[in-house]
Amino acid sequence: MDRLDNTVRPYAWGSTTAIPTLLGTEPTGEPQAEMWMGAHPGAPSRTGRGTLAEVIDADPEKELGTASAAKFGPRLPFLLKLLAAGAPLSLQVHPDLAQAKAGYEDEERRGVPLDAPHRNYKDANHKPELICALTEFDGLCGFRAPAETADLLDGLGIASLKPYVDLLRAHPEDAALREVLTAILTADPEEMSRTVTETAAACDRLGGAYAPYAGIAHHYPGDPGVLAALLLNHVRLQPGEALFLGAGIPHAYLDGLGVEIMANSDNVLRCGLTPKHVDVPELLRIVRFEAGDPGILRPEASPDGEEVYDTPIDEFRLSRYVLPEGSGVHDLTLPTPQILLCTAGTVRAGEHELAPGRSVFVPAGEKAGVSGAGTLFRATVLV
């Protein structure tokens, strides 16, 4: 197995302390938002044999296993991350596989450069993702029931919100959500900025259920995404709890440290809380206008001590082991590729001793014995 040397991405929303604290290093004063573990071309992990992308490219079947290479192609189909949010990320959705393929082919045919700021589809893949909290973790996930949102907006006592309240109460669920989100994203920018400013002040004054949205508005003053955020469920995960974000589900991470895993894609359609491009017509085509419970996931334990986060896709499978002192060696050998990440204590994986934040890549079929006292996350695929 290969010890991984991973890149930390300094996105502006990142916490300045969470990842350094986990790694036991000194903060630099700069944001440290994500640590990437995998073979994504944007920041592939480094090994003693070259980058992980180079290692896999040299012999895909050996590194990934025959079944994984046949099902997903000659590449690692997932990207594992440590994600540390110190400020809200953009409000966003991801396409399903058919939408991603069609959107990518269309933009390629029209000659839209891959690095163009208005490009929506950077690849032809979908991007389902799972976030598992290591600390208390706040986020937004999926639409709240329209009637509940109407009551929430009405409670702010702002005249310019009354049309949205009426729409949410007067239409069927999917039509109500579509009409209100469309109205928010296509409103006159100056009028919307005034409404958002009033809304932010009211949320700040009232607190309680409004407090998360006051915090969002503090980071993005005047942004219509603040009102879009008010349509969504606020979720607070406790350590060990997780959220699965499927295609078309609007979401945003607000604050906290977690382990994130996703299909190997960079396709994002933004709804707001960002200075980046918002393609309203394409966004409205991709969003699933369905209200519902965000569905907090808790791991399901198996007899061998593996705790699995069950998701409906095959490109990744995330689980964890909480290893007690003196529990002996656990055999984690699989016929599929794995990344093992320690998040607490000290875990020995093969010849490598892993402190928190350290990880290894285990080629398919490679003997993977682990021991020690700590928490170990395992990322692999289903074939």
**3 state DSSP class of 5:** strand
Residues in the chain: 383
CA distance 186 to 180: 10
Residue 70: count other Cβ atoms within 10 Å of its Cβ. Answer: 12
Considering the candidates 270, 320, 358, 378, report the single residue annotated as catalytic.
270
CB 238 within 8 A of CB 136: yes
Q: Which residues pair with 360 in a beta bridge?
A: 3, 340
CA distance 318 to 308: 6
SS (H, E, C) 150-213: HHHHHCCCCHHHHHHHHHHHHCCHHHHHHHHHHHHHHCCHHHHHHHHHHHHHHHHHHCHHHHHH
How far is the first Cα of the chain from the last one, in angstroms, to the nearest whole number?
A: 21
CA distance 236 to 234: 7
The answer to whether residue 270 is catalytic is yes
Residue whose pair of structure tokens reads 């706040």 in the numeric block: 138
Q: Quick one: tokens of 293?
A: 């419970």
CA distance 221 to 214: 10
Q: Quick one: tokens of 141?
A: 């996930």
CB 371 within 8 A of CB 348: yes
CB 213 within 8 A of CB 226: yes
Catalytic residue numbers, as ranges: 270
